[in-house]
Structure 1
């Protein structure tokens, strides 16, 4: 495959990537959130026993300052607490409050309904291809970047 073909495929990938982000960003705005705060809430909700600032930053690839700002906002709204971890006094475990759990359950179940609807309109092979292709691109991109850094 020539470089021009690959370049066009990369452009097509970006069109899809930014399109999906645009959809999530607009969906989040309906709830007064940003895409970053939406996905931060998602991670806290889905990984309740291991959620620390470090875990959030590593999972989402967001800077500490961004995550802290989001956490401060959720904490002011009464949606979460941060308590010192028993095994590492430098870390704080981030936990949803009852109000935060109710908010996240409602919000994320609404989001999941839209995502499930989109997946239902795809064949099994399209869904599997989407996931398999994204994982392959992720690993190959990571390897290419790591190889480049070693030079």
Structure 2
């Protein structure tokens, strides 16, 4: 056991860290993610997969050619993480990937009808959870205003 540790000081710092904003943000995010996760289990999908599908749908609506790189960048996800999500989505039949004719390293993505239906249904279910979790519009606006200061 460490002999020169100032346990009193360490304990006080620990207590102060527990009252920092990051602690509350972490707890709220984890609670929200658990509730959303329960809903998404019935769709046999994850929050990350839904986020990817929503991003693809948005890009397709805009008439853009969708690439894995564009989606990963838009969502701020590392390339290797995104690759795993795309493989899973393709295996489930939610997307079709093809190699770009212009750049063999680039993969184009198209949302399938099955993927579009999942986005519509799962997103509606997630919005119900979200509205139940954050019911007060005035509080939400204030929270968003405060959080945007840290962007």
Q: Quote how far apart the aligned CAs of 1:19 are.
A: 1.7
TM-score, structure 1 as length reference: 0.69
Q: Quote how far apart the aligned CAs of 1:42 are.
A: 2.2
Q: For residues 58 and 24 of structure 1, what CA distance do their matches in structure 2 show?
A: 24
Q: For residues 114 and 122 of structure 2, what CA distance do their matches in structure 1 show?
A: 12
Alignment correspondent of 2:83: 68
Alignment correspondent of 2:24: 12
Alignment correspondent of 1:81: 96
- Output aligned runs, 1:58-137, within 5 Å: 58-85=73-100, 89=103, 90-119=105-134, 121-122=135-136, 124-137=137-150
What is the alpha-carbon root mean square deviation over aligned residues? 2.7
Alignment correspondent of 2:33: 21
TM-score, structure 2 as length reference: 0.69
Higher relative contact order (CA 8 A, sep 6+): 2
Task: Check 1:50–1:128 CA distance in 2 against 1; reply closer, same or farther (3 A cut).
Answer: farther
Higher percent of residues as helix? 1
Contact 2:49 2:85 in 1 (8 A): yes
Task: Check 1:14–1:73 CA distance in 2 against 1; reply closer, same or farther (3 A cut).
Answer: closer
SS in 1 for 2:108: strand
Q: Quote how far apart the aligned CAs of 1:96 are.
A: 0.5
Aligned residues: 133
Q: Which of the pair has more CA radius of gyration?
A: 2
Task: Check 1:106–1:9 CA distance in 2 against 1; reply closer, same or farther (3 A cut).
Answer: closer
Q: Quote how far apart the aligned CAs of 1:33 are.
A: 1.9
Task: Check 1:10–1:102 CA distance in 2 against 1; reply closer, same or farther (3 A cut).
Answer: closer
Stretches (4+) displaced over 6 A: none
User: CA offsets per residue over residues 72-104 of structure 1, 9 Å max, x none?
Assistant: 222223221224457x52433321112221222
SS in 2 for 1:47: helix
Unaligned runs of 5+ in 1: 140-151
Unaligned runs of 5+ in 2: 1-12
